[in-house]
Amino acid sequence: MKNVYLTGSTGGIGRAIRQRLESAGFHVVPITSRLEDVDSLLREVQDLLKFSPVDILVNCAGFGLFRPHEEISPEIIGRMVAVNLTAPMLLCQMCLRTLKERNGRIINITSLEATRHSRFSAVYTATKSGLRHFSLSLFEEVRKSGVGVTSINPGMTRTGFFDDLDFGPSDDETCSLVPDEVAEEVLRIVESSGVVTDVTIQPQRVGVKRKPY
């Protein structure tokens, strides 16, 4: 049974990934440390590697705030960078030797914003596009070692990500994805004999709903 380390396992997409992989026979190991707490994260992963060596690393945790840049506090900027970019890079670094030994996989869940430029999304876009380009570059570094690296860039997905934001998915279901669609893509990638390096999944239509103040 292959071991999957997963961040963001309690969120909408992360929970769907966990359920889908477990139903397919994988052993999913949630990363429970706060991703901003580097020391705690290092200790947790070092312990996990001793007893449940990683075969697949899925970085799914994410955090976003969409406002004019001057209105975003330094603390929030730091948190977005830590959760969306620094933590995945650290996890890849910590797990890479074991992944090379086991011909493993890395899957980084980014965002459609990693592929475009949107208003009020400068920090979020920077972190997610940074993770996407990190993934593409890392694959070129490790492909001879047998490790696959994939960036999945989902469009608007109907999850709790939008609970504290002033907008969310449109009531038109064709304007958003559901978490299971992303989870199915993760399963397809880990079961593939080849390497899918970069995949963008979008809903058929574009539409958002503004929330009342």
CA pair distance 201, 23, nearest whole angstrom? 22
CA pair distance 46, 111, nearest whole angstrom? 28
Q: Please work out, in degrees rounded to the nearest 5, the angle formed at the alpha carbon of residue 61 by the alpha carbons of 67 and 122.
A: 25
In the CATH hierarchy, which fold is given to the domain comprising 3-210?
Rossmann fold (3.40.50)
Q: Beta strands 3-6 and 208-210: pairing type?
A: unpaired
For residue 3, list its beta bridge partners.
27
Domain locations in the chain as residue ranges: 3-210
pLDDT in tens, the chain (213 residues): 999 999 999 999 999 999 999 999 999 999 999 999 999 999 999 999 999 999 999 999 999 999 999 999 999 999 999 999 999 999 999 999 999 999 999 999 999 999 999 999 999 999 999 999 999 999 999 999 999 999 999 999 999 999 988 899 999 999 999 999 999 999 999 999 999 999 999 999 999 999 876
pTM of the model as a whole: 0.96
Could you give the 3-state DSSP secondary structure of residue 59?
Answer: strand
